Amino acid sequence: MTLAVPSREQAVRLVRQRTDLVEVVSRYVKLKRSGSNYLGLCPFHEEKTPSFSVSPGKGFFHCFGCKASGDVFTFLMKMEGKTFPEVLRELAQRAGVELPAGRPERSAARGLKQRLLEVNELAAGFYENQLWQGGDSARAARRALEQRGLSEEVARRFRLGYAPAGWQGLVERLRSAGASLQDAETLGLVGRGSRGPFDLFRHRLVFPICDLQNRVIGFGARRLADEEGPKYINSRQSPVYDKSSALYGLSQARPAIVKERRVVLVEGYFDVLGPVAAGIGNVVATCGTALTERHTAVLRRFTDTIVTLFDADDAGWSAIERATRQLLAGGLAPLATTLPAGEDPDSFVRRQGGEALRRLLEQARPAVEALAEHWLEQGDDSEARARALQRLAPVLAACSDPLRRAALLHWVAERFQVNEQSLLQAGQGAGGGRKRSVAPGPAATADGSAASRVEAGAAEEENFLVYLVQLPELAGEAGAGAALADLVSAPLRRLAGDVVAGRLPAQAAEVLAAVDDEGLRSRLARRLLEDQQLTEAELRAEFRRCRQALRRRALRRQLKELTYRIGQAERGGQREEKAQLLKEKMELNRQLVELERA
């Protein structure tokens, strides 16, 4: 039976309730029951002792090793690299939940995208069939694959194809299928001249580019040997293909990336296919463009460790520098290794084999260190070192992770024998337009994020929310609402306020799903698992203790502020204001004494 719900928020909650988290996780992880929970080896990092816990009653998972946590949506997004809407649609279909219809313009856009995807699929099938069933002209394409050591199995896995030399092969195929040639023009597959429509890809080896659902979104086409024209031509930007976010080979590489917990980034189609043929599967490439912010967002769904494998010439090192800045800005950990002169990943693996490439990848080092050493090879006198530091400053400034930035800053300062303050000043003027300065360490914030220094007492604020979730009736107590003003952390105050007001169900999976900060979500998940053995009486006692601790901390903050204001009033000769402030301080001291006695 399919249930229709009026709002997307209700649909999400219903899908979560109707989905068996243990069943979903068990597709990827071998779980063993342990009390009311299930344990297994974490799929998000390598481990020998199970630290991955699934709580079916509370509807969330948590890894005590890598700190990953979340609900069924989070699990599938991390496991399969999908977006939330994609996971929601899939789970809703399985759970028998009808998602509310979107706005008409969105429905029209989805209709256009579906048509374009169907045209791309027809084209991919046509090119693929031509590669294996085509006549004499297709033999050149098959021979090109053989010469590069690419087996039919690899070619078919990546759906490689051949665009025949004629001008209307694809046009006729699309017409016979009743597809729109206008849509094919939108995709950059068909052109239109004085004699009508014609194929844009002719006598070329074709590389379909797929999204994470294995849908063909675009194509790259390489000329065969001794042919005229540009070496590569590619699909144009379209509603289904955006080269600023597309990564060639990602859908095929996903299982290997999840296993290896790292991605190898290269620059060309064959640079992906060559290593894959040699057994190295976690390799992807950008599609004719430099690495972008959107690329890093896609990669971050799978791992934070990216190994750049580029040529060792000047262009290759420039590409490493650009990629390193972009990856650091995206919160990722870039490593770098380079190939011998004159080699690319495809030629290297054909000459020296997969094991040699694996050894090369194992030698990858932090990209900032690799760049520093490369620039120092240009010369080690004072002027050369100054030039190297000038190039490193904007790279360091791009780093968005304060902890990683502090470590890199320290390494560079030691390697170049300069003080960190000098690097700070250089970084402040070299942010590359991002207006981000190099900082010596994590800044103190009140959001409780993993990158911030957690102030004394912040754990009590997290405990307050955990107790509300563990025993929902606590949210109805008068003290719960009054305690909200004592919370310093804005995210925790918002979440606890929503629970107390009934806007957010006091359920673990619901609350964790509303937490944006991964560090905070992980800490809350860990506490929810650790405290689940407490009795109701113990929970109530812990809640009262926590509430009192928050009140004492709030009173001490207010007393400190009053003391400062009293000093200002005294220095300014404001007797009446000073007297009033002293009364307020006496009252706060009285309240604090009572709390200390309680």
Query: Angle between the 575-597 and 536-571 helix axes, to the nearest 10 degrees?
Result: 160
User: Residue 180 falls within a domain, yes or no?
Assistant: yes
- CATH number for the domain harbouring residue 58: 3.90.580.10
User: Residue 448 falls within a domain, yes or no?
Assistant: no
| HSE-up (13 A, CA, CB side) for residue 568 | 8
- With a CB cutoff of 8 Å and minimum separation 6, the contacts of 594 are none
Domain count, the chain: 5
Tokens standing for residue 195: 């004699």
Q: Is the pLDDT of residue 117 over 70?
A: yes
Rounded Cα gap, residues 272 and 344, in angstroms: 11
CA distances to 131, 272, 431, 585 from 225, rounded to whole Å, are 16, 20, 44, 86
Residue 420 CA, distance from chain mean position: 30
Residue 122 shares a structural domain with residue 228: yes
Tokens standing for residue 63: 């890894």
CA distances to 67, 442, 444, 491, 515 from 454, rounded to whole Å, are 17, 10, 8, 14, 17
Task: Give the pLDDT confidence of 168-207 residue by residue, as tens digits.
Answer: 999 999 999 999 999 999 999 999 988 899 999 999 999 9
Mean pLDDT confidence for 314-335: 92
Give the best-scoring range by mean pLDDT among 4-13, 186-195, 399-408. Answer: 186-195
Task: Give the pLDDT confidence of 544-564 residue by residue, as tens digits.
Answer: 888 888 888 888 888 988 888
Q: What is the pLDDT of residue 103?
A: 56
Q: Is the pLDDT of residue 466 over 80?
A: yes
Q: What is the pLDDT of residue 460?
A: 85
User: Residue 446 falls within a domain, yes or no?
Assistant: no
Mean pLDDT confidence for 50-60: 93
Q: Residue 429: pLDDT band by 50, 70, 90 thresholds?
A: low
pTM tops 0.75, yes or no: no
Rounded Cα gap, residues 93 and 278, in angstroms: 39
Q: Is the pLDDT of residue 326 over 90?
A: yes
Task: Give the pLDDT confidence of 227-243 residue by residue, as tens digits.
Answer: 677 899 999 999 999 99
What SS3 class is residue 390? helix
Mean pLDDT (the chain, rounded)? 86
What SS3 class is residue 44? coil
Q: What is the pLDDT of residue 374?
A: 92
**How many residues can be counted in the chain?**
598
Q: What is the pLDDT of residue 300?
A: 85
Q: Which domain holds residue 395?
A: 381-428
What SS3 class is residue 63? strand
Which one has a higher pLDDT value, 255 or 446? 255
Contact between 338 and 267 under an 8 Å Cβ cutoff? The reply is: no
Residue 285 shares a structural domain with residue 360: yes
Neighbour tally for 333: CB within 10 Å: 16
User: Residue 556 falls within a domain, yes or no?
Assistant: yes
Rounded Cα gap, residues 295 and 263, in angstroms: 12
Residue 286 shares a structural domain with residue 195: no
From 64, 98, 132, give the residue that closes a domain.
Answer: 98
CA distances to 165, 361, 456 from 553, rounded to whole Å, are 78, 51, 10
Contact between 397 and 434 under an 8 Å Cβ cutoff? The reply is: yes
Q: Is the pLDDT of residue 500 over 80?
A: yes
Rounded Cα gap, residues 325 and 340, in angstroms: 23
- CATH number for the domain harbouring residue 160: 3.90.980.10
DSSP class of residue 237 equals P
Residue 39 shares a structural domain with residue 14: yes
**Ramachandran sector of residue 226 (left: φ over 0; alpha: ψ -120 to 50; beta: rest):** left
- With a CB cutoff of 8 Å and minimum separation 6, the contacts of 377 are none
Rounded Cα gap, residues 478 and 485, in angstroms: 13
Locate tokens 């990848």: which residue? 361
Neighbour tally for 285: CB within 10 Å: 26
Q: Is the pLDDT of residue 455 over 50?
A: no
Tokens standing for residue 201: 């890809």
Residue 40 shares a structural domain with residue 57: yes
User: Residue 84 falls within a domain, yes or no?
Assistant: yes
Q: What is the pLDDT of residue 545?
A: 87
CA distances to 23, 96, 98, 348, 422 from 205, rounded to whole Å, are 42, 43, 43, 21, 52
Residue 90 shares a structural domain with residue 110: no
Residue 482 shares a structural domain with residue 572: yes
Closest CA to 73 of 82, 523, 64, 215: 82
Q: What is the pLDDT of residue 445?
A: 36
Q: E strands, 213-345, where?
A: 216-223, 232-234, 247-248, 263-266, 283-286, 305-310, 333-338
Task: Give the pLDDT confidence of 286-320 residue by residue, as tens digits.
Answer: 998 889 999 998 898 888 899 999 988 888 899 99
Q: What is the pLDDT of residue 77?
A: 86
Q: Residue 378: pLDDT band by 50, 70, 90 thresholds?
A: confident
Residue 388 shares a structural domain with residue 352: no
Tokens standing for residue 252: 């095929």
Which one has a higher pLDDT value, 196 or 451? 196
From 200, 234, 268, give the residue that closes a domain.
Answer: 234
Q: What is the pLDDT of residue 84?
A: 85
Residue 464 shares a structural domain with residue 587: yes
What SS3 class is residue 555? helix
Specify the DSSP element, H or E, that contains 34. Answer: strand 32-34
Residue 140 shares a structural domain with residue 18: no
Mean pLDDT confidence for 520-531: 86
User: Residue 433 falls within a domain, yes or no?
Assistant: no
Q: Is the pLDDT of residue 443 over 50?
A: no
User: Residue 318 falls within a domain, yes or no?
Assistant: yes
From 194, 210, 234, give the residue that closes a domain.
Answer: 234
Mean pLDDT confidence for 50-65: 93
Residue 537 burial by Cβ neighbours in a 10 Å radius (0-12, 13-18, 19+):
exposed
Which one has a higher pLDDT value, 123 or 463? 123
Q: What is the pLDDT of residue 432?
A: 45
Q: What is the pLDDT of residue 577?
A: 87
User: Residue 240 falls within a domain, yes or no?
Assistant: no
Q: What is the pLDDT of residue 178?
A: 93
Q: What is the pLDDT of residue 476?
A: 77
What SS3 class is residue 192? strand
Contact between 513 and 74 under an 8 Å Cβ cutoff? The reply is: yes
Q: Is the pLDDT of residue 216 over 60?
A: yes
